[in-house]
Structure 1
Amino acid sequence: MARYRGPKAKIARRFNDPIFGPSKALQNKSYPPGQHGRGRRKKQSEYALQLMEKQKAKYTYGVLERQFANLFDKASRKSGITGTILLQLLESRLDNVVYRLGIAPTRRAARQLVSHKHIFVNGELVNIPSFQVKIGDIVSVRERSKSLENVTNSLAANAGKRGPWLEWDNSQLAGKMIALPQREEIPENIQEQLIVELYSK
Structure 2
Amino acid sequence: MARYTGPVCKLCRREGVKLFLKGDKCLTKCTLERRNTRPGQHGASRARKESGYAKQLREKQRVRRTYGVLERQFVKHFGAAANRPGKTSENLLQILEMRLDNLVYRLGLADSRAQARQLVNHGHFAVNGRKTDIPSFIAKPNDVITVRERSKGLEYFKARALMLAQKGVPTWLSLNTNELSGRVITIPSRADLELPFDEQMVVEYYQR
TM-score between the two structures when normalised by the length of structure 1: 0.94
CA distance in 2, matches of 1:156, 1:132: 28
Alignment correspondent of 1:189: 196
- Structure 1 stretches of at least 4 aligned residues deviating more than 2 Å after TM superposition: 147-161
| 1:44 is aligned to 2:54 | no
Structure 2 runs not aligned, ≥5 long: none
Name 1:65's counterpart in structure 2. 71
1:168 aligns with 2:168: no
Q: Higher mean Cα deviation, 39-48 or 54-63?
A: 39-48
The aligned counterpart of 1:107 is 113
Instruction: Note the 1:72-87 alignment, pairs <5 A.
Output: 72-87=78-93
What is the Cα-based RMSD across aligned positions, in Å?
A: 1.4
Alpha-carbon separation, structure 2, partners of 1:13 and 1:153: 32
Partner Cα separation in structure 2 for residue 3 and residue 156 of structure 1: 31
SS of corresponding position for 2:126: strand
Cα 1:150–1:188 change in 2 (3 A) is farther
Q: Hey, what does 1:121 align to over in structure 2?
A: 127
Contiguous gaps of at least 5 residues in structure 1: none
The number of equivalent residue pairs is 201
**Other structure's SS at 2:175 match:** strand
For 1:101-156, what per-residue CA distance to the aligned partner results, in whole angstroms no more than 9, with x for missing partners? 11111111111111001000000000000000111100000112123333344454
Separation (CA, whole Å) in 2 of partners of 1:111 and 1:135: 21
Q: State yes or no: 1:180 paired with 2:187.
A: yes
Return closer, same or farther for 1:51/1:152 CA change in 2, 3 Å cut-off.
Answer: farther
Q: Which amino acid aligns with 1:184?
A: A
Q: Specify whether residues 187 and 147 from structure 1 end up closer, same or farther in structure 2 by C-alpha distance, changes over 3 A only.
A: farther
Q: Deviations over 1:6-46 (max 9, x none)?
A: 11111110112221141421111111111111114242111
The TM-score, its normalising length taken from structure 2, stands at 0.91
Query: Secondary structure of the equivalent of 1:167?
Result: strand
Q: Report if the CA contact (8 A) 1:104-1:151 is conserved.
A: no
Rounded to whole Å, the distance in 2 between the matches of 1:144 and 1:37 is 48
What is the CA deviation profile of residues 80-103 of structure 1, one whole-angstrom value per residue up to 9, with x for unaligned ones? 111111000000000000100111
3-state SS of the aligned residue for 1:73? helix
CA distance in 2, matches of 1:37, 1:72: 31
Shift in CA distance, 176/78, structure 1 to aligned 2, threshold 3 Å? same
